[in-house]
Amino acid sequence: MSTTSTSEEVKDNTSREDEGDAPNTKDEDKSNENLLECNICLDTAKDAVVSLCGHLFCWPCLHQWLETRPNRPVCPVCKAAISREKVVPLYGRGSKKQEDPRNKVPPRPAGQRTEPDNNFSGFGFGDGGFHMSFGIGAFPFGFFTSTFNFGEPRPNMPPHGTPQNMEEQFLSKVFLWLALIFIAWLLLA
Amino acid sequence: MSAMSPSERRLQKELMSLIKDPPPGVTVDAEQAEQNLLQWTIFMEGASGTLYEGERFQLQFKFSNKYPFDSPEVTFVGSNIPVHPHIYSNGHICLSILTDDWSPALSVQSVCLSIVSMLSSCKEKQRPHDNAFYVKTCSKNPKKTKWWYHDDSV
Ligand SMILES: [Zn+2]
Ligand SMILES: [Zn+2]
């Protein structure tokens, strides 16, 4: 599905009359029609854009995906790097206004998907599939120890799936804030 | 019918194509899915020539209204959970496309195909090493697990 060359798509485009939204999903037998389908919503692409890797999307669909994972903008189909600037809007012969679809965005509310572990902008770990809790070792209470467990498996438990412990996460955030307040107090005092 | 959300619209399309042209050994409970597009039951047969030949499994797919931007929640359910190094006895599956590597260009069909191939490439039926610990401590939703994808070969 991803090996179609752009020139073929253009040729097919001229040979069939398709006005935007097909209201019905029933007559999709011709495999040719798939060529003009958005890779995200599976409808005929509206406000179509093509990535440099050749994959077709509705701009609103692609935009929502880019908003969903702003830190890792990749093509949904082939995982090539992708960006707003590097997609090409497509204008068919019939289109009245050649307005760049990227200028009239966002038509839909952006999908806000917060990654559960990534709330600390200052500590940019947590993305590579490991669990990290953070504490301050020098804090004047004995139980505030730092726990880092990335890279090395835990000694007695292979880290196949590490259940996310929300409480622990919450506590470590509380401790971090306490520590920051404490440090600020030290500096100001 | 006219007030279908974008996720339902896409799920409806996926359902139609899965009914019409299912991957080998995969069937969807169409009636149930049509009643509630956000929760599907899928039956999967162990492929012939693999360790799971002759077995029949049941998968549950749950979709949020952010699908396909948000990955589906996929678990094995029912009485026969495949014994596999990446499948926990509670039905949770350690498969990166279900969380970190999800993409909106993936589909129910491609998830099913990944699971079929994950089963088919298995050389020894066994539970994950940390099965007992994980099953006791995990959240009900496998998407809440911070998976550690350490092995893509099985
Ligand atoms: Zn689209
Ligand atoms: Zn691509």
The phi, psi pair for B61, rounded to 5°, reads -110, 125
Rounded CA gap, A68 and A143, in Å?
Answer: 37
Domain assignment present for B145? no
CB-nearest to A68 from B10, B69, B129 is: B69
Residues 6+ apart with CB under 8 A from B31: none
For residue A50, give the ligand nearest its CA: 2
A-chain residues near B16 (CB < 8 A) = 25-26
Residue B154 resides in a domain: no
Q: Give the distance, in angstroms, between the CA of residue A63 and the centroid of all CA atoms in the same chain.
A: 10
With bands split at pLDDT 50, 70 and 90, how would you rate the model's confidence at A179? confident
Count CB atoms within 10 A of the CB of residue B129: 13
Long-range contacts of B134-138 (CB under 8 A, 24+ apart): B134/A160, B134/A161, B134/A163, B134/B88, B134/B92, B135/B88, B135/B89, B135/B90, B137/A163, B137/A165, B138/A161, B138/A163, B138/B88, B138/B90, B138/B92
Q: Is B139 on the interface with A (CB under 8 A)?
A: yes
Looking at residue A166, what is its pLDDT?
62
CATH number for the domain harbouring residue B90:
3.10.110.10
- Put simply, whether A111 touches B (Cβ < 8 Å) is yes
Chain B contact set for A42 (CB, 8 A): 10, 13-14
- Write the CB contacts of A162 (distance below 8 Å, at least 6 apart in sequence): A131, B145, B146, B147, B148
Q: Chain A within 8 Å of B129 (Cβ-Cβ)?
A: yes
Cβ pair A25:B12 closer than 8 A: yes
pLDDT one digit per residue (tens) for chain B, 154 residues = 557 899 999 999 999 999 999 999 999 999 999 999 999 999 999 999 999 999 999 999 999 999 999 999 999 999 999 999 999 999 999 999 999 999 999 999 999 999 999 999 999 999 999 999 999 999 999 988 888 776 555 5
Query: Are B10 and A131 inside 8 Å of each other by CB?
Result: no
Please name the member of A61, A64, A76 whose beta carbon is closest to the beta carbon of B103: A76
Inspect the interface and report whether the beta carbons of A113 and B66 lie closer than 8 Å: yes
pLDDT of residue A58: 95
Asked if the Cβ–Cβ distance from A160 to B13 is below 8 Å, we say: no
Q: Residue A44 and residue B132: Cα distance in Å, rounded?
A: 47
Chain A hits for B100, Cβ within 8 Å: 129
Residue B25: per-residue pLDDT: 95
Structure token pair of residue A71: 């830190």
pLDDT, position A122: 40
The one-letter amino acid code at A69 reads R
Average pLDDT, chain A: 64
**Residue B144 maps to a domain:** no
- Give kind and range of the element (H or E) at residue A59: helix A59-68
d(CA B152, CA B154): 6
A104 vs B44 pLDDT, higher one: B44
CB contacts, 8 Å: B94 with chain A: 160-161
Q: Each residue of A19-33: pLDDT tens digit? A: 444 444 444 445 555
Domain of B45 in residue numbering reads as 6-138
A chain contacts of residue B146, beta-carbon cutoff 8 Å: 116-117, 129-131, 161-164
Of B94, B112, B122, B138, which residue is the catalytic one? B94
ipTM for the predicted complex: 0.89
What's the total number of domains in chain B? Answer: 1
- Between positions 99 and 118 of B, the ones with CB within 8 A of A are 100, 103-106
Residue B74 within any structural domain of the chain:
yes
- Alpha carbon of A45: minimum distance to chain B alpha carbons (Å): 13
Q: Give a yes or no: residue B148 inside a domain.
A: no
Binary contact (B104, A61; C-beta < 8 A): yes
Q: What is the pLDDT at residue A132?
A: 41
What digits encode the pLDDT tens for the residues A66-98? 999 888 899 999 999 999 888 999 888 776 666
CA separation (Å) from A55 to A37, A76, B51?
10, 9, 37
Crossing angle (nearest 10°) for helices B6-20 and B108-120: 50
For the question of residue B138 being annotated catalytic, the response is no
Say if B146 falls within a structural domain. Answer: no
